[in-house]
Structure 1
Amino acid sequence: MRKIAALGAATVFAALSFTSSAFAFEPSKPECIAPANAGGGWDFTCRQIGKTLYDLKTIGSPMQVVNLAGGGGGVAYAEVVAKRNDDNDLIVAASSATTTRLAQGAFPGSTMDQVRWIGTIGADYGVIAVSKDSDIKTLPELFKRVKENPRGIAFAGGSAVGGWDHLKVLIAAKAAGISDARAVKYIAFEGGGEAVTQLLGGHVQAFTGDISEAKGFVDSGDLKILAVLADERLPGEEFNKFPTAKEQGIDAVGANWRGFYAPKGMSDEAYDYWVNAIKTTYASDEWKEVMANNGMMPLEKFGPDFEKFVSDQISSTQTLSREIGLIK
Structure 2
Amino acid sequence: MKPPLRMALAASSACTLLAGCSMLNTTPAIPDDWTPRGSVSALVAFAPGGGSDRSARVVAESLNDLDADFNVNVQNREGGSGAVGWATFLAEQGNGNALLVAESALNTLPLVYDVPFTYRDFTPLVMFAEDSRMVVADADAPYETCADLVEAGRDAPVRTGSSGRTGADALVTAEFERNGGQFSVVPYGSTGEVLTALMGGQIEVAPASAASVRPYLESGDFKALCTLTPERYDDPLMGGVPTALEQGLDAEVTIWRGVLAPDGISRVQRDYWVDAILDAMDSDLYRDYIEDDLLLPADLAGEEFEDYLDDYDAQMQEVFR
Length-normalised TM-score, structure 1: 0.79
Please state whether the residue corresponding to 2:164 is helix, strand or coil.
Answer: coil
Aligned to 1:5: none
Aligned to 1:256: 255
Distance 1:39 1:131, change over 3 A: farther
1:295-314 equivalences in 2 (<5 Å): 295-314=294-313
Indicate if the aligned counterparts of 1:39 and 1:213 stay in contact, CA closer than 8 A.
no
Distance 1:26 1:281, change over 3 A: same
- Alignment equivalent of 1:128, drawn from 130, 135, 154: 135
Aligned to 1:12: none
Establish whether residue 89 from structure 1 lines up as the match of residue 97 from structure 2: yes
1:146 deviation in Å? 1.9
Establish whether residue 54 from structure 1 lines up as the match of residue 64 from structure 2: yes
Distance 1:221 1:23, change over 3 A: farther
Aligned to 1:167: 171
Establish whether residue 112 from structure 1 lines up as the match of residue 116 from structure 2: no
Please state whether the residue corresponding to 2:246 is helix, strand or coil.
Answer: helix
How large is the RMSD of aligned CA atoms in angstroms? 2.5
Establish whether residue 44 from structure 1 lines up as the match of residue 48 from structure 2: no
Deviations 1:100-122 (A, max 9, x none): 113x1525232323211111111
1:35 deviation in Å? 0.9
| Range that drifts further, 221-230 or 44-53 | 221-230
1:84 deviation in Å? 2.4
Percent identity between the two aligned chains: 25
Distance 1:194 1:87, change over 3 A: farther
1:124 deviation in Å? 0.7
Aligned to 2:45: 35
Q: Which amino acid aligns with 1:73?
A: G
1:315 deviation in Å? 1.8
Q: Which amino acid aligns with 1:250?
A: L
Q: Which amino acid aligns with 1:305?
A: E
Distance 1:129 1:275 in 2: 37
Q: Which amino acid aligns with 2:276?
A: A
Please state whether the residue corresponding to 2:309 is helix, strand or coil.
Answer: helix
1:29 deviation in Å? 1.1
1:163 deviation in Å? 4.2
1:75 deviation in Å? 0.4
Indicate if the aligned counterparts of 1:158 and 1:192 stay in contact, CA closer than 8 A.
yes
Distance 1:289 1:140, change over 3 A: same
Establish whether residue 98 from structure 1 lines up as the match of residue 106 from structure 2: yes
Indicate if the aligned counterparts of 1:100 and 1:164 stay in contact, CA closer than 8 A.
no
1:79 deviation in Å? 0.4
Q: Which amino acid aligns with 1:109?
A: P
Please state whether the residue corresponding to 1:230 is helix, strand or coil.
Answer: coil
Aligned to 2:7: none
Distance 1:105 1:27 in 2: 38
Distance 1:45 1:154 in 2: 29
Unmatched tracts of structure 1, length 5 or more: 1-21, 323-328
Distance 1:89 1:189 in 2: 32
Please state whether the residue corresponding to 1:101 is helix, strand or coil.
Answer: helix
